[in-house]
């Protein structure tokens, strides 16, 4: 297996990909980018109407999936295998904001919901996909956030779940290499998604640019095509996507390194 840092380009022609949260935003952009690269796409989302529209636009298939449910994730992978016989790539992208804080505005139901979507969705999706990916090798890209690399006082639970995805990526990346499965994450700044709607005016007033969803999708495809493992790529306006350097923090060791 080539060194993780190498950026060899491989074709996605004929690959089978599953994208959660594929009905809009980054997921939708990834579905289109994958289709343009020759992959066969299965769109997974709780929004059946929008999801089916995306699937039709990319010549793909749709499956209803609540990512906070392990059973839904297992069923989504089973659907992919039934339709195409294999699974090569999975973009675990579904995510939400919490809409509550830790003080008087704390809402345990909202808290449980964001953990269920933003973290359980990554864990359950990975668990469901691993048996298929291990058969002949494959790649997983999780959508974290720049909020997983820095502080976000405005939504501490969003930040907490995205930090958890970053930690999971750094741990699973080296752990899954021996199985031929690469696990990485993208950490975009404010990107063109439904979640941006609640802060769009504030961003405009602060002159903070919004990243095109397609820019994030390009980074996802770069990770699918490359051979990196355990990397968290930050994506900011006007800068090329690149792996975040955890300076001064020892990296995880693989089993071979002892």
**CB of 7 closer than 8 Å to CB of 31:** no
51-91 residue pLDDT tens: 999 999 999 999 999 999 999 999 999 999 999 999 999 99
Instruction: Give this prediction's pTM.
Output: 0.89
Catalytic residue from among 111, 157, 158, 234: 158
Residues 6+ apart with CB under 8 A from 25: 191, 192, 193, 194, 195, 213
List, in sequence order, every beta strand (DSSP E) within 144-199.
Answer: 181-188
pLDDT confidence bin for 144, thresholds 50/70/90:
very high
Pick one of 3.40.50.300, 3.30.499.10, 3.40.47.10, 3.40.50.720 as the CATH number of 16-236: 3.40.50.720
Residue 187, token pair as written in the block: 């950490």
223-257 residue pLDDT tens: 999 999 999 999 988 888 999 998 776 665 554 45
Residues 6+ apart with CB under 8 A from 86: 16, 132, 135, 136
Note the maximum CA span of the chain.
52
Active site residue 237: no
């Amino acid at each position: 297996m080539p060194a993780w840092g190498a950026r060899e380009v491989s074709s996605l022609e004929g690959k089978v990909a599953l994208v959660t949260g594929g009905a809009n935003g980054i997921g939708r952009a990834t579905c289109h980018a994958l289709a343009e690269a020759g992959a066969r796409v299965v769109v997974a989302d709780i929004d059946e109407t929008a999801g089916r529209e995306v699937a039709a636009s990319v010549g793909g298939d749709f499956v209803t999936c609540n990512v906070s449910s392990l059973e839904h994730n297992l069923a989504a992978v089973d659907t992919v295998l039934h339709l195409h016989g294999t699974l090569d790539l999975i973009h675990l992208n579904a995510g939400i904001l919490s809409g509550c804080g830790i003080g008087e505005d704390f809402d345990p139901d909202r808290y449980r919901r964001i953990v269920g979507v933003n973290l359980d969705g990554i864990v359950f999706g990975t668990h469901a996909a691993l048996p298929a990916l291990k058969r002949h090798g494959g790649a997983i890209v999780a959508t974290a956030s720049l909020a997983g690399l820095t502080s976000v006082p405005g939504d501490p639970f969003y930040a907490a779940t995205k930090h958890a995805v970053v930690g999971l990526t750094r741990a699973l990346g080296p752990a899954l290499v021996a199985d031929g499965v690469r696990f990485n994450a993208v950490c975009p700044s404010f990107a063109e998604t439904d979640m941006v709607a609640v802060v769009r005016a504030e961003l405009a007033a602060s002159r903070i640019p919004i990243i095109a969803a397609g820019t994030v999708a390009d980074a996802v495809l770069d990770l699918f095509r490359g051979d990196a493992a355990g990397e968290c790529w930050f994506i900011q306006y006007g800068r090329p996507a690149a792996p975040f350097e955890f300076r001064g923090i020892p990296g995880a060791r693989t089993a071979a390194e002892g």
